[in-house]
Structure 1
Amino acid sequence: MKNKFLLASVTFLSVVSLSACTSPKKESSKTSAASSSTNVVKETTTSSSNVKKQISDSDKGNVKTKRIGSADYGYVNIPSDWKKNDNIQVGDNIQYTDKNAFNIIVLNAATREKAHVAEGVEFNAELIAKRFETRWNDYKIVEKMTKSTTTVGGNESLKIHIFLKTGLQAAGWVFQKDDKVYLIVVEGFEKTITQFTPYVENTWSLDGTGAVKD
């Protein structure tokens, strides 16, 4: 069951739009900003301070981290005991899992060309976020979604929080910087989403100083 969950999520990421997108359709910025499903709840988040407060005092300062990523997708800090998992690799994502290969973080990014967005169609985070929501709803395993605004490395970001019928969760951050839209996804237990939210929002950048080569 563990691998099935991960394989489904990774396959989704490779199909949605960042690495193996379908043919472009006529999409407007107005349409792309709309919700892809009636079960999406919009929220507003001004900072990650509330998430930080949810991390127990015993975790603060005790988790050793390492920096992972690439010049194309950006870099982020994660717990040092997480491993790059090529056994479930699909597409050109960068992905790391915990030792049980159950919880996962995935990094990707797309230019207009990579996302197959036609000229004349606005290419932005809202468009990619809509595709993200649509693909998840296609799996028929979503209990509900919430959408909020936050920042990732100082960049305004859409955050889509997905609650699955299995009790597991996923969170996707979608944001634009220059000519790319970046996507970071964390999946697994609720505590994993809580733990990784400040990692994603506060440590992501294009600075790969100290990044591991594993």
Structure 2
Amino acid sequence: MKNKILLGSVTLLSALMVAACGNGEKKATETTAAPTTEATTTTAAPTTTAPTTTAGASSETAEVSLEDTKRIGREDTGYVNVPKDWVEFKAANGGDQYQYAALDGYNIVTLNVFTKDKYQPVEGETWGAEMIANRLYGTYQKNPSIEKIQGAKRKVVGMDAFLVQILTKDGKYFFTWVFQKDDKVYSTSFEGNKETLLKMFDLIEQTWGLDPKTPGK
């Protein structure tokens, strides 16, 4: 039987921030081969288990400020709030996903949707957010640019979510929330520096929704 990702409640950023010490912040002019947010349609769940941390942390969410933010997204991928000065962005290999970025082009939010007809379960898999999270984890694990990867369980506007947390060898953070609403699985990803990630974390978890006007709905 294939092992699944071990996704326990973990301290936000815990192991990744420790690993980042000494790496320094990456300059916006440099480029990084960021992991793709596409889940393979043919690979089964990975056979390895994602490391997690168990240090206690409050799961309570602080009220997020929507000042100086705007709502972005698309009907199929959902919507989320980002800083007001961010602009629409399209990666060369972005596919159908929806992206917005800071003016530096380094800090990016990506919205994606997965449907069962495109991502058919294989033997040992059950359709849902955990299946997609496992596939993403398996894909990311093979990327040679990754320094550390771990999993966590979180909440996105009250929905159970699997969070794959990645730190690349050059100090870039890549976090992907995977969650299910009705028969579709959605993901919201952030890639960029630690400072911006800290600002975006609550915005992603509290403002995602299918309503283009109302955060969290």
TM-score by length of 2: 0.74
Q: 2:201 is matched with which residue: 189, 197, 201?
A: 197
1:115 aligns with 2:105: no
Give the partner amino acid of 1:84.
E
Distance 1:96-1:133 versus aligned 2 partners, 3 A rule: same
Structure 2: how far apart are the matches of 1:100 and 1:121?
39
The alpha carbon displacement at 1:158 in A equals 0.9
What is aligned with 2:151? 147
CA–CA distance in structure 2, aligned partners of residues 3 and 112 of structure 1: 37
Change (3 A) 1:45 1:107: farther
Q: Give the alignment of 1:41-190 within 5 angstroms.
A: 41=52, 43=54, 47=59, 49=61, 63-86=67-90, 88=92, 90-117=94-121, 121-190=125-194
Displacement after TM superposition at 1:120 (Å): 8.6
Determine if contact 1:97/1:104 at 8 Å carries over to the other structure. yes
Q: How many residues align?
A: 187
Per-residue CA deviation, residues 85-109 of structure 1 (Å, 9 max, x unaligned), is 1364620010011101011110001
Q: What's the % identity of the aligned pairs?
A: 32
Equivalents in 2 of 1:62, 1:204: separation in Å? 12
Superposed CA offset, 1:155-194 (max 9, x none): 1101111111111111110011110111111001011221
Q: Taking structure 1 as reference, are residues 148 and 89 closer, same or farther at Cα in structure 2, changes over 3 Å only?
A: same
Residue in 2 aligned with 1:9? 34
Over 6 Å off, 4+ runs: none
- Answer yes or no: is the 8 Å Cα contact 1:45–1:148 preserved in 2: no
**Structure 1 contact 48–150 (Cα < 8 Å) conserved:** no
SS at match of 1:131: helix
- Structure 1 residues 54-81: Cα deviation after superposition (integer angstroms, max 9, x where no partner): xxxxxx8585000011221111100011
Report the equivalent of 1:40.
51
Alpha-carbon contact 2:80-2:209 (below 8 Å) kept? yes
Structure 1 length as normaliser, TM-score?
A: 0.75
Q: Structure 2: which 5+ runs fail to align?
A: 1-27
- Shift in alpha-carbon separation, 1:61–1:123, aligned structure 2, 3 A: closer
AA of the residue aligned to 2:114: A
